[in-house]
Amino acid sequence: MEQNTNRPVRRANYRNASPTKKRRTFSSSSFNSGFKNNQRGNHKNRPHSDGKFSNFKTGYRNRSNSGRNGARKIPTFDPSQFINTNPIETNEEVYVPKHKFTDFGLERKLVTAVLNNKLTSPSPIQDQIIPLILEGRDVIGLAQTGTGKTAAFLLPLIHKTLKEYSRQTLILTPTRELALQIQEELRKFTVGNKIYSTVCVGGTNIRPQIQGLRRKNHFIIGTPGRVLDLIERGHLKPQYLRTVVLDEADRMLDMGFIHDMRKILEDIPSDHETLFFSATMSKDIEKLVNDFLNDPVTISVRKKDVTNSIFQDVVRYHHHDKFKTLTDLLVGEEFKRVLIFGAMKHSVEKLSQELNSAGIKSDAIHGNKSHGQRQAALKRFKSGNARVLVATDVAARGIHVDNVSHVINYDLPNTFEDYVHRIGRTGRGKEKGTALTFIQNT
């Protein structure tokens, strides 16, 4: 076991984080049990050290001094859920791939592009699912982001397109950001190969998308609402689609796209292939799969358990110095690329502005920003022009930024699942990450 050396410099109130700390040791036998289970399952043994947060289940309390009419519901947590000062080095099972990228029978130029992109060996989902997609099977990939699932479906589909140039694929995603990231990955694997794509997402001008659909497209990548709109207006012809990919299907369901997804799937000829990706399985998802997939093969991969492998701690603040506590922290050089989560669109915007005024280059992404603004913000964050990105949970969905050194929960997440999702943005792959959660002192 190795201690994560990427520790935050402890200053100001952060030093007061220790009272709620529960010493835990991780051994290889706790490998896959998960921090969540350790913490929630044994809640009787946990310290009752914090009056306000002594509610061990995630719950809600009313805060009457919210300055609004009526009380605002804010989540309550046991702070020890946010502490893991002894992260284990990795709890990913070592997977030995059965294939090399050269073994799948992919077109040579595609394999060259893969290797040029520094992908040396297939990830578990790629290793297992690429042969099935090449065979033409319907598949269910149970995999989170960061497992390499995008390349897992793109590579065999690009191969098929290179073989059969008239082939058209529709990729449905929950968010615009994810759609654009898939297009970016598609471009990386197809440079110089005349493979065309159009992104059709909501919240942006439909005209360029209509123009885009008039040209030849091998891949149409979009969000369900806009895609359905374009089908209904006659610009997107479902009868030509040979493959449909549903990426992050569980998130699309969460976002209320079920009706649109069903309508789209009903419009496409029944002999199409369906590739279905989801991090979780629920009754609704099972129903969708049963209704639309033909004898699918399920491949399930586990990503490393972020709750065990990321250094996590709480940061104490008094209500009058929350912002100062943050800026004091951000002085630390190790805070190289920091993703800060806030609860509301307006508070996220305000925090970003305040950080800029304090000389800390920051950007914000939230639902009130235009698509172009969000993309520009992401670009600045990825390139290092902005050291800090402040985001709401929804806006941060599906974004991939490598080397996020710290995730800071400036406002508490609504659920433990949201917490896990947030902190998973740091410590990706073999990187070490730190997650800090702001907790108000009583």
For the bound state, the minimum distance from the C-beta of residue 145 to ligand AMP, rounded and expressed in Å, comes to: 4
Pairing of strands 434-440, 406-409: parallel
Nearer to ligand AMP by C-beta: 178 or 288?
Answer: 178
For the bound state, the minimum distance from the C-beta of residue 112 to ligand AMP, rounded and expressed in Å, comes to: 15
Nearer to ligand AMP by C-beta: 39 or 278?
Answer: 278
For the bound state, the minimum distance from the C-beta of residue 208 to ligand AMP, rounded and expressed in Å, comes to: 26
Biggest distance spanned by C-alpha atoms of the chain:
65
The 10 Å Cβ neighbour count of residue 424 is 22
User: What's the rounded Cα separation, in Å, for the pair 9 and 282?
Assistant: 41
What is the residue type of 428?
R
For the bound state, the minimum distance from the C-beta of residue 220 to ligand AMP, rounded and expressed in Å, comes to: 19
Nearer to ligand AMP by C-beta: 255 or 279?
Answer: 279
For the bound state, the minimum distance from the C-beta of residue 248 to ligand AMP, rounded and expressed in Å, comes to: 9
Positions that interact with ligand AMP (CB under 6 A):
119, 122-123, 126, 145-151, 400
C-beta separation of 264 from 243 below 8 A = no
Nearer to ligand AMP by C-beta: 147 or 217?
Answer: 147
User: What's the rounded Cα separation, in Å, for the pair 188 and 424?
Assistant: 25
Nearer to ligand AMP by C-beta: 146 or 332?
Answer: 146
For the bound state, the minimum distance from the C-beta of residue 307 to ligand AMP, rounded and expressed in Å, comes to: 19
Phi, psi at 220, each rounded to 5°:
-115, 125
Nearer to ligand AMP by C-beta: 147 or 309?
Answer: 147
User: What's the rounded Cα separation, in Å, for the pair 69 and 295?
Assistant: 54
In 95-233, alpha helices (H): 108-116, 124-135, 149-163, 176-190, 206-214, 224-232
C-beta separation of 377 from 399 below 8 A = no
Phi, psi at 418, each rounded to 5°:
-60, -40
Q: In the structure encoding, which two tokens stand for residue 72, read together?
A: 């605002």
Pairing of strands 219-222, 197-200: parallel
For the bound state, the minimum distance from the C-beta of residue 296 to ligand AMP, rounded and expressed in Å, comes to: 19
User: What's the rounded Cα separation, in Å, for the pair 311 and 381?
Assistant: 22
For the bound state, the minimum distance from the C-beta of residue 119 to ligand AMP, rounded and expressed in Å, comes to: 4
Nearer to ligand AMP by C-beta: 104 or 317?
Answer: 104
Nearer to ligand AMP by C-beta: 117 or 370?
Answer: 117
Question: Interior CA angle at 207 toward 206 and 212, to 5°?
Answer: 100
The 10 Å Cβ neighbour count of residue 429 is 10
